[in-house]
Structure 1
């Protein structure tokens, strides 16, 4: 048994920190080789997402945007490495078995998170088991490097070892007790080197244990060992990430030869884009397209191994490979997607040209049974969403999409296959990395977000946004341009109105659009006068419904209200 008083607190924390880092780094590396779906950190993070109340998730999206997963991963690492690992190091110095027990608890949490993931198997268990084993070995190795037993006879002064001056009966000299500190020279304290160590630079605090042996702390050996452990931890994590299928999937994506569409999209009208600086372009570049999903780490799905299963309330279950999907008649369509988390005037909306197979065609192959009203789609990372069957079958361009803006889907946007459904918020339609469709009923199944307080069905609400100028901008007095975008998928935008300082509503000029499923640019001229001004916008869809002034948050079925900004004119 070793005493914590021998080893400084920073050293105990360092041992645990390095051991924990090795455990996580090796786990990441093993996950890459074993084909596991995720490392323990990602599994714990996924579980945390599942258990987090909806209001907290909404706050995370608002506060961190597309970086919310990165923040969560960082939080898990801080808790594990900043809180749990140092405690394990302290326990290990007290008794190594205690440290191992702490790691066992750490392993149990990781295994519980991993095994509760969808389709978990043996390969998913290996990273946690091997990683914790590596961490346990590292912990024991560091403890042994940092501490050693110094026999009392090796440090006693010569006078104490003279005949007749021993510690037996009749001795004139009493042995030092375990609670009585030795002199600075004897204990390796402030001695000849003046810095708390002996001639060899090794610290020997004055703590004596059973058998009159002295436990010593070797700072130099600990630091060199910790440095080696840090290299292993960082190297394992980096290499594991690199080998986790990313290169293979990226290479497979580049090799995809996109077939020509059987039904091409209409040409984009020449007047679809006003080309006003600061105004969102009609087509959103792939790199600029928003991303909001529950995946902590972007799934790396091999298209050669990908399959789409259609089952449930169907006459003939269907299973399609990627090549079979590419061999079906493809449809090209311009569709704007919107996230239900988007605040009024928010950025979680974008427009792209998609290529894919009509979902209705695949469902007809399976044969929908009477009473089926919901498609429960499942992503490769376990996310589910429920889509109304009638929307898919009403003739709109609802797609199993394989391409985005003329190239195979970016991995972050669902490669190899995702859903695109005009007119529905993404949480009930836009499943990325889709692998499974269960034809079912809303009264029999629930998707991921429904039990978390969101509406089961999410038709997109008519919205408009001011892009130019931005709220808080300074504008020069005189003729100025106010411009933005408006959307009302699958109905279409028929009018946009703008007013300044609660004045009269004025009709904005509208850009051309190829159909009702995309957003629409608008602009209006304004004679700006000096001072602070408030600008508001509202849109009216093709069915005559005007965007409501009533403000509502995104939950449970999408935000409402007029986008309002304030600018200063000088």
Structure 2
């Protein structure tokens, strides 16, 4: 089991050593599996992504110039700070606990309107709330300040990390296998509903429970926001911008997301006409994206398609365009195409 923390360092291995260590982990079997994804959860045949993103296609955005190579036998996670009991977990302590599996859509704050820095996976791991409760979080704690083996830091709200309805995880698996090395092997944080820079530390080795005033994480020092809930967004996946398609019946399809709130509807506007409600895919859970499609007549010539999403709180995406800094882009995605 996990014992009281002692002195220990994190050792970087060669890529071959890390790959061998990952292979030795074997099959990860959760005690609670994620629900089976129904066939109507995506419209991939119409041009949307598949509902679950293959590991090789999952977006990657980080500051690592070279991917950290860490063996499980060298890895540990120190949990300390404003807690009753400082704990150091070894990989075996986590691997041998009852594992849970959750389907979660992650989004990067640097995702522009219509961008592709959004992906979905079945993550396997342990509840972050369990680890924090074992340590005993003290009153007044606000921030979970996490550090990667390469020194990168992130600050997450303690309330979000401990919210069991949100399902924050220390993940060691992804889509039925150990985490890929480039996605954080041996372990990473996954806190649904928050942009990755405050929720998704890869190669995580240190968790300090603290206050916002006491610690300032990497991206906060560079002007990004402290609170980073993922914004309600939608995009058009097909037709592609400036594509030429046959005239007549045309189907537009795309993706929308409003993690921790859920997508209620997507509307589409063709050539400046009235908003039309699109067909939505099956809703898997509130922490995942939904796909949409709509069919319309396109006469020969140029056309424009615009989309907007409304989440389950009743909020509809704003038309106002804003860049990604400090807390995520806003605006309606639009594309132009030609019918012939």
TM-score by structure 1 length?
Answer: 0.57
Matched, 1:442 2:196: no
Matched, 1:540 2:310: yes
**Deviation by residue 1:331-362 (Cα, 9 ceiling, x = unmatched):** 10000010000000001110111101110110
Residue aligned with 2:185, SS: coil
* Unmatched runs of 5 consecutive residues or more in structure 1: 1-118, 125-243
Whole-angstrom CA distance in 2 between matches of 1:440 and 1:407: 33
Partner of 2:279: 509
Q: Could you say which structure has the higher helix fraction?
A: 1
**Deviation by residue 1:509-536 (Cα, 9 ceiling, x = unmatched):** 0111221001111111111111111110
Partner of 1:377: 146
1:120 Cα offset (Å):
10
Q: Work out whether residues 269 and 513 of structure 1, in 8 Å CA contact, stay in contact via their aligned partners in 2.
A: no
Whole-angstrom CA distance in 2 between matches of 1:275 and 1:430: 27
Rg comparison, structure with higher value: 1
Residue aligned with 2:18, SS: helix
1:278 Cα offset (Å):
2.9
Partner of 2:188: 418
1:275 Cα offset (Å):
2.9
Partner of 2:162: 393
Whole-angstrom CA distance in 1 between matches of 2:306 and 2:94: 46
1:347 aligns with one of 93, 116, 121: 116
Residue aligned with 1:253, SS: helix
**Deviation by residue 1:47-93 (Cα, 9 ceiling, x = unmatched):** xxxxxxxxxxxxxxxxxxxxxxxxxxxxxxxxxxxxxxxxxxxxxxx
**Deviation by residue 1:354-411 (Cα, 9 ceiling, x = unmatched):** 1011101100000000000100000011000000011112211211111111111110
Residue aligned with 1:375, SS: strand
Whole-angstrom CA distance in 1 between matches of 2:118 and 2:236: 13
Partner of 2:53: 284
Pairing 1:204-219 to 2, within 5 Å after superposition: none
CA RMSD of aligned residues (A): 1.6
Q: Work out whether residues 168 and 192 of structure 2, in 8 Å CA contact, stay in contact via their aligned partners in 1.
A: yes
Whole-angstrom CA distance in 2 between matches of 1:288 and 1:327: 29
Partner of 2:268: 498
1:565 aligns with one of 330, 335, 338: 335
Q: Work out whether residues 342 and 348 of structure 1, in 8 Å CA contact, stay in contact via their aligned partners in 2.
A: yes
Residue aligned with 2:93, SS: helix
Whole-angstrom CA distance in 1 between matches of 2:266 and 2:86: 46
Pairing 1:237-386 to 2, within 5 Å after superposition: 245-386=14-155
Q: Work out whether residues 377 and 436 of structure 1, in 8 Å CA contact, stay in contact via their aligned partners in 2.
A: yes
Whole-angstrom CA distance in 2 between matches of 1:312 and 1:365: 13
Q: Could you say which structure has the higher strand fraction?
A: 2
Residue aligned with 2:237, SS: strand
1:428 Cα offset (Å):
0.5
1:443 Cα offset (Å):
1.7
Partner of 1:78: none
Pairing 1:134-213 to 2, within 5 Å after superposition: none
Q: Work out whether residues 302 and 337 of structure 2, in 8 Å CA contact, stay in contact via their aligned partners in 1.
A: yes
1:454 aligns with one of 201, 208, 224: 224
**Deviation by residue 1:421-464 (Cα, 9 ceiling, x = unmatched):** 11000001100000000000112210000010000121000000
Q: In 2 relative to 1, CA 450–283 (structure 1 residues): closer, same or farther, beyond 3 Å?
A: same
Greater length-normalized contact order (CA 8 Å, ≥ 6 residues apart): 2
TM-score by structure 2 length?
Answer: 0.95
Partner of 1:28: none
Q: Work out whether residues 43 and 49 of structure 2, in 8 Å CA contact, stay in contact via their aligned partners in 1.
A: no
1:304 Cα offset (Å):
0.9
1:328 Cα offset (Å):
1.5
Partner of 1:229: none
**Deviation by residue 1:1-32 (Cα, 9 ceiling, x = unmatched):** xxxxxxxxxxxxxxxxxxxxxxxxxxxxxxxx
1:265 Cα offset (Å):
1.0
Partner of 1:173: none
Structure 1's consecutive aligned runs of 4 or more residues displaced over 3 angstroms after TM superposition are none
Q: Work out whether residues 402 and 408 of structure 1, in 8 Å CA contact, stay in contact via their aligned partners in 2.
A: yes
Residue aligned with 1:516, SS: coil
1:277 Cα offset (Å):
4.5
Q: Work out whether residues 486 and 493 of structure 1, in 8 Å CA contact, stay in contact via their aligned partners in 2.
A: yes
Aligned residues: 332
1:269 Cα offset (Å):
2.0
Whole-angstrom CA distance in 1 between matches of 2:132 and 2:208: 11
Whole-angstrom CA distance in 2 between matches of 1:505 and 1:299: 48
